[in-house]
Amino acid sequence: MASNLIMLVFLIATCSIVLASDPSPLQDFCVADHSGPVLVNGFACKDAKLAQATDFFFSGLHLPGNTSNPVGSKVTPVNVAQIPGLNTLGISLARADFAPWGVNPPHTHPRATEILTVIEGTLEVGFVTSNPENRLITKVLQKGDVFVFPVNLVHYQRNVGTGNAVVIAALSSQNPGVITVANAVFGSKPAIANDLLAKSFQTDTKTIDWIQSKF
């Protein structure tokens, strides 16, 4: 009985590891049918015979993003929404542009690890470990440097140089998702109760109302 229980625990742990990333493809490719009526975990495949080169193609990553916004950055994603041929392949890409002192605010990717390389500029990056340590691991990167953000950990980037900065990031999911902490907490719809947030952040409801008004 004990041996059976141990085996069951092992199988559950193994399955959890296997299911922690995008499922492996069972054919050469599965071009996403974005307009199809079938709802699955990911996207249903369109007929492989109808696949075209454009299903595996994206143009424009050389173009700078518009950083004229409150945070001074712009992310250009290249995931399954832009390239249908990424469906089931477990990988995607993004470009991020930063004005001087622009930030990509603290956020997480719930379904992906991220590996980032600096193409231009000087960037401060960091991520925070999970509770209870909440340890900040941070480094300043120069052109050509590479940094990894582990899956689902809160992380950020900030341009600390005098000019613009550009990075290219690869992510281990066709659809990594993004949860920007401030947007989720202060900009949810409907809003999280201000007294709950005031207690959580150890401040007053007036301060919370002011922050929520920004989102």
Sheet of strand 92-98, all strands in order from the earlier edge strand to the far edge: 73-78, 92-98, 165-171, 114-120, 146-149
* Residues 177-197: b if buried by 16+ CB within 10 A, e if exposed: ebebeeeebbeeeeeeebeeb
Return d(Cα 57, Cα 83) in angstroms, integer. 6
- Please report the pLDDT score of residue 152 as a whole number: 96
8 A C-beta contact, residue 123 and residue 141? yes
- Please report the pLDDT score of residue 43 as a whole number: 86
Is 22-177 a CATH 2.60.120.460 domain? Answer: no
DSSP state of 65: P
The CA–CA distances, whole Å, from 20 to 111, 173, 176, 179 equal 8, 11, 12, 18
The CA–CA distances, whole Å, from 50 to 24, 30, 45 equal 22, 11, 11
pLDDT average per 10 residues of sequence, the chain (215 residues): 44 43 75 80 86 96 96 97 94 98 98 97 98 97 98 98 97 96 97 97 97 95
Ligand-binding annotation for 34, yes or no, is no
Ligand-binding annotation for 124, yes or no, is no
pLDDT in tens, 98-120: 999 999 999 999 999 999 999 99
Ligand-binding annotation for 133, yes or no, is no
Strands 123-128 and 179-180: unpaired
Ligand-binding annotation for 104, yes or no, is yes
- Please report the pLDDT score of residue 21 as a whole number: 61
Sign, CA torsion 34/96/134/141: positive
- Please report the pLDDT score of residue 27 as a whole number: 80
Instruction: Report which residue type is found at 90.
Output: G
Return d(Cα 152, Cα 128) in angstroms, integer. 10
Return d(Cα 186, Cα 212) in angstroms, integer. 5
Residue with tokens 């930063």: 98
- Please report the pLDDT score of residue 35 as a whole number: 79
pTM, 2 dp: 0.84
8 A C-beta contact, residue 71 and residue 44? no
Return d(Cα 147, Cα 139) in angstroms, integer. 9
Ligand-binding annotation for 155, yes or no, is yes
Domain boundaries, the chain: 22-177, 178-214
Return d(Cα 161, Cα 167) in angstroms, integer. 13
